[in-house]
Structure 1
Amino acid sequence: MLEAPRARLTAVAVHLPSRYRTMEEIRAGIAAAGSPYVPPPGLLQDVTGVRGVHVREEGECSSDLAVSAARKALADAGTAIGDVDLLLYAATCQDMFEPATSHLVAAKLGATCPVFDVTNACNSVLNAMEVASAFIATRRYRTVLIACGETGTMVTRWHVPDREALMRAMPGYTVSDAGAALLLTAGPAGQDDPGVLALRFAADSTAWNACTVSGGGSMHPRAFDDEHMTIRLNGDLLRTTAVEGLPFLRQAAERELEAVRASSFIAFHQIGMPQYQEMVDRLPLPADRCMPAVAEHGNCAAASLPLQLVKALETDRIEPGDTVAMIGLASGMSFGLALVRW
């Protein structure tokens, strides 16, 4: 019996818009919106540890950011779009309700392969890796392109009635716009061969209401209220959904976390520096093998894990043969973990 092929991460790429909005500029925007409450100077950066966020150009869509990153990944791998067997669009954001944003990405890239969306908030890219790996292992497809386009700055709250509203909207001040792409191809699955070694996922869906953008769906189909159209924390303001989920994550993936701690580089989803530090301290993770990308780039949602991989590659923190860990955390609440040999 032939051994099942292993999904190999052939290329990873990101696209960050050139516009950059500092926390002080965000504070100025809150004031310009005529908000009854304007945070004191320095508060946003003090609370989040984030210096600023990337902002898309006017009229730039989620699919445009995904396409820019996908072109980089294809070029880096030397792969033509015609060689892609399946295209997955994986992101928190989308261009429209119908059709799936993957069709817009495919049309802009000139792809003619099957496409569909994989959507699970900030875990979307990691879940797409799971889907791609399964298809490759069963020989359904050999080359899978995952494209992600995040336009998270759309859920930033500008009109703030009071301090509590500001604190509940705080995740919206760290979200960045970004594109990301991963190219996975079929390869041998020998003991030392590169590729996706392990995947583990879990969910605690009873916590779905902890962090929401509730407008636009069947619950609030024609919402215009900022409480529905901007991101909102609905639970304890002193804790985040990511931090609250750490005990659940340790219980669900105790064995895999040992392999994570032994990895050469560890990427995990980041929404702000306090959550970053708590992740490092409480899991616990070796700080010298992690990267606080959120401080400079903000929360890039589902593009945050690819961003950290690209930054690690650019600084030679990942070399061929290294094992890399990826930890995903998403509202819902969802958890994901991947181990990849480079």
Structure 2
Amino acid sequence: MVMRSRVLGCGTFLPANIVTNQDLEQRVDTSDEWIVQRTGIRSRHIAAEGEKTSDLAIAAATRALEHAGVPAGSIDCIVLATTTPDNTFPATATKVQAALGTKGFAMDIQAVCAGFVYAMAVADNFLRNGQARRALVIGAETFSRLLDWNDRTTCVLFGDGAGAIVLEAYEAKGDSTDRGVLSTHLHSDGSQYDLLYVDGGASSTGTIGHVRMHGQEIFRHAVSKLSAVVEEALVANGLESTDIDWMVPHQANRRIIDGLARKMKLSPEKVVLTVDRHGNTSAASIPLALGEAVADGRVKRGDLILMEAIGGGLTWGSALVRW
């Protein structure tokens, strides 16, 4: 027998304000056709003035607890992935902890778009090692606060939102038929730091700064690095791509997602897509897509789910989870 962490429930939250490509046509020199052709994005949700990352995270976490059917007081650990914390410190996760009334500890993880996979890996290890019994894993972003709305190459790509899952430790057999997190695989390459970054920070400029991105270089790295880390996860569990029921990818770019699916010989019907309606919500994109697929009944008990993401750093990773 081994300790694993299984998913008890999930929840999502999106700001009410929807910004379409047609809306952006009024702000910058772009077009719906240009955006859709290159990214697959048609609209995105943008947080209202005064709506903070913690607000989105609390709403998603509350729904995840309700879906799991467990009280907030039973949560020992909160791991919140975000690139857009409410404050430089303390961790936004502590705000979530105070609002929900959970016990134990709370911490933020910063791995940009790969943040949710990183956060799940951290929580999974806490649970496997007995340092917590139940954990809330959250991806939450108000990424719109980092955008230069005059930069048409970046402002059309991103959106805001939050998603959360509840994990619980349990004794499992130790093979690929177990429920829960089968394995997580994390990587980073700091030599690619400047491909996607924000040109500001507390110790450099004293300002927040804006997103700067070398899109073609990111695209070039994405499919190769993601296909390698997906293969790593499959090999680690003695599985094939044909065993995957659902791929829930980071929702950055439709062409990247399609390219990876083709490389894996995975049917498009097995890929959960929200990028057209959510844009790139960074650390929130995987749990938002997962939550939608669970809510509409696509994901069922026993399904094998592949999650993968790549983000600034560069950071990337994958996870295999049996629902």
TM-score by length of 2: 0.91
Partner of 1:123: helix, strand, or coil? helix
Q: Which of the residues 255, 267, 272 maps onto 1:274?
A: 255
Partner of 2:289: helix, strand, or coil? helix
Q: Which of the residues 65, 75, 79 maps onto 1:84?
A: 75
1:12 maps to 10
Query: In the superposition, relative to structure 1, how do residues 314 and 111 fare at CA in structure 2: closer, same or farther (>3 Å)?
Result: closer
1:233 maps to 213
Partner of 1:122: helix, strand, or coil? helix
2:91 maps to 100
Q: How many Å apart are 1:280 and its aligned residue?
A: 2.3
C-alpha distance in 1, partners of 2:119/2:32?
40
Q: Which of the residues 150, 157, 168 maps onto 1:159?
A: 150
C-alpha distance in 1, partners of 2:83/2:266?
26
Residues 156-213 of structure 1: CA deviation (Å, up to 9, x unaligned):
32235xxxxx33x3xx312111011111001121244311111112222211110111
Query: In the superposition, relative to structure 1, how do residues 273 and 65 fare at CA in structure 2: closer, same or farther (>3 Å)?
Result: same
Q: How many Å apart are 1:125 and its aligned residue?
A: 1.4
Report the residue type matching 1:185 in the other structure. Answer: E
Q: How many Å apart are 1:261 and its aligned residue?
A: 4.7
- The answer on whether the counterparts of 2:113 and 2:282 sit within 8 Å (CA) in structure 1 is yes
2:56 maps to 65
C-alpha distance in 2, partners of 1:193/1:122?
27
Does the alignment pair 1:209 with 2:194?
yes
Report the residue type matching 1:267 in the other structure. Answer: V
Correspondence list, 1:15-26, <5 A: 15-26=13-24
Correspondence list, 1:75-154, <5 A: 75-154=66-145
1:322 maps to 303
Query: In the superposition, relative to structure 1, how do residues 71 and 218 fare at CA in structure 2: closer, same or farther (>3 Å)?
Result: same
C-alpha distance in 2, partners of 1:156/1:27?
16
Report the residue type matching 1:85 in the other structure. Answer: D
- The answer on whether the counterparts of 2:162 and 2:287 sit within 8 Å (CA) in structure 1 is no
Report the residue type matching 1:194 in the other structure. Answer: R
- The answer on whether the counterparts of 1:7 and 1:184 sit within 8 Å (CA) in structure 2 is yes
1:220 maps to 205
Partner of 2:112: helix, strand, or coil? coil
What do you get for the CA RMSD once the two structures are aligned? 2.0
C-alpha distance in 2, partners of 1:266/1:124?
17
Q: Which runs of 5+ in 1 are unaligned?
A: 31-37, 161-165, 224-228
2:317 maps to 336
Report the residue type matching 2:101 in the other structure. Answer: G
Deviates more, 1:150-159 or 1:180-189: 150-159
Residues 22-77 of structure 1: CA deviation (Å, up to 9, x unaligned):
011122133xxxxxxx2356433343221110011220100000000000011111
Deviates more, 1:138-147 or 1:46-55: 46-55
C-alpha distance in 2, partners of 1:29/1:233?
20
2:245 maps to 264
Runs of 4+ residues deviating >4 angstroms: none
Query: In the superposition, relative to structure 1, how do residues 278 and 252 fare at CA in structure 2: closer, same or farther (>3 Å)?
Result: closer
Query: In the superposition, relative to structure 1, how do residues 109 and 156 fare at CA in structure 2: closer, same or farther (>3 Å)?
Result: same
Q: How many Å apart are 1:260 and its aligned residue?
A: 4.5
Residues 208-241 of structure 1: CA deviation (Å, up to 9, x unaligned):
1101112123232237xxxxx221113xx5x251
- The answer on whether the counterparts of 2:80 and 2:108 sit within 8 Å (CA) in structure 1 is yes
Q: Which of the residues 290, 295, 302 maps onto 2:283?
A: 302
Deviates more, 1:249-258 or 1:58-67: 249-258
Does the alignment pair 1:196 with 2:187?
no
2:168 maps to 185
- The answer on whether the counterparts of 2:229 and 2:318 sit within 8 Å (CA) in structure 1 is no
Q: How many Å apart are 1:17 and its aligned residue?
A: 1.2
- The answer on whether the counterparts of 2:227 and 2:260 sit within 8 Å (CA) in structure 1 is no
Q: Which runs of 5+ in 2 are unaligned?
A: none
Partner of 1:202: helix, strand, or coil? strand
C-alpha distance in 1, partners of 2:149/2:52?
21
Q: How many Å apart are 1:302 and its aligned residue?
A: 0.8
- The answer on whether the counterparts of 1:156 and 1:173 sit within 8 Å (CA) in structure 2 is no
